[in-house]
Amino acid sequence: MKYAIVFFSMFLLFSCNSDSKLEQEIEAIPMDVKIVRFDKEFARATPETLNSLKQKYPVFFPEQFHDSIWLGNLNDPIQQQLNEAVENAFPTEETIEDQLLPLFQHISYYFPEFEAPTTVTVTSDVDYQNRAIVADTLLVLALDTYLGSDHEFYENIKRYIAKNLKPSQIGPDVAEAYARQLISPPSKRDLLSQMVYYGKELYLKDIWLPNVSDAEKIGYTKEEMQWANDNEEDMWRYFIEKELLYKTDPKLAPRFIFNAPFSKFYLEIDNESPGMVGRYIGWQIVRSYIENNTVTVPQLLFKNADEIFKNSKYKPKKN
């Protein structure tokens, strides 16, 4: 027993040293984070300066919209309140850069062809479904969707959505946007393929965001994360006993994959559960696959769900 403890301690020490060296190597990667505060420029625009702003940022001013639309927006009291709220939450770019710099360095380490985008910040009428958008060399961040989960602008937004409208979700949201550029959609429509697709996405967050909690990676509260961890074995048993993994029923995704206030097992535990438990299980399958196979990250992304599941040797954590 004594020797086992010594061996385990040495193993932990070696692993920590290896992780530390890797992080030091990644931290040394030169990376320029360029942030353009379009939100501030638009908030300060006047009828006299609007034309020059349109010339500077044509992508944000579609030609089919008349200037009266933009002028009306500038004078709209709600828009002005949004501008003020964003200015208060993000007076400088520090909060944004502190999350984007290490994220971009980690993406670059695993995908050397990555080039840091120009990040443009905007307001979006609180379009929480499009918080972070990657388009060619641009990353567009809607800062009015990161004001804090309890902000007054989110009072009429369902709680399971509003809980993630906070500054600390910028990194996970941007990581998700880039992950979806790299991962091909599942070729099959069965539940397992969808679970593993999101498992790959969450695994990329693991390696790109090593200092972010698992709860923030998946968008859970601490309590929801604890519930998922505590009930992993029971959830897995349910999927197996109900033979759900290879079913293509379109109702399964809303029950277990899509963001929702809770997952639908049609059991008494439903109201206690978080949504997206299918993503959580897929995450654990991908983690197990990485642990039990020698595979690079780019190779992982091209593996299909059946191969990953078969070779993962996945076993849920016991209650």
pLDDT digits 0-9 by tens, 199-258: 999 999 999 999 999 999 999 999 999 999 999 999 999 999 999 999 999 999 999 999
Assign 18 a pLDDT band (cuts: 50, 70, 90).
Answer: low
Whether the pLDDT of residue 1 is over 80: the answer is no
Written as one string, the DSSP assignment of 139-205 is EEEEGGG-S-TT-GGGTTS-HHHHTT-SGGGHHHHHHHHHHHHHSPPPSS-SHHHHHHHHHHHHHHH
Taking each helix axis from N to C end, the angle separating 305-312 and 191-208, rounded to the nearest 10 degrees, works out to: 70
Question: N- to C-terminal Cα distance for the chain?
Answer: 26
The position carrying tokens 């929480």 is: 128
Please give the Cα distance from 175 to 104 (Å, whole number).
9
And the tokens for 318? 């016991």
Q: Copy the structure tokens of residue 250.
A: 């379109």
Q: Which residue has the higher pLDDT, 14 or 182?
A: 182
Report the DSSP pairing between strands 132-135 and 34-36. unpaired
What distance in Å separates the CA atoms of residue 22 and residue 26, rounded to the nearest whole number?
6
pLDDT band of 319, cuts 50, 70, 90: confident
Q: Which residues contact 67 (CB under 8 A, 6 or more apart)?
A: 50
0.85 exceeded by the pTM? yes
Sheet holding 138-142, edge to edge: 34-36, 118-122, 138-142, 132-135
What is the reported pLDDT for 318? Answer: 84
Instruction: Tokens 């060296």: give the residue.
Output: 21
Q: Are the C-beta atoms of residues 144 and 186 closer than 8 Å to each other?
A: no
Integer Cα distance of 112 and 118 in angstroms: 18
Question: Mean pLDDT throughout 7-27?
Answer: 69
Q: How far apart are CA 162 and CA 151, in angstroms?
A: 9
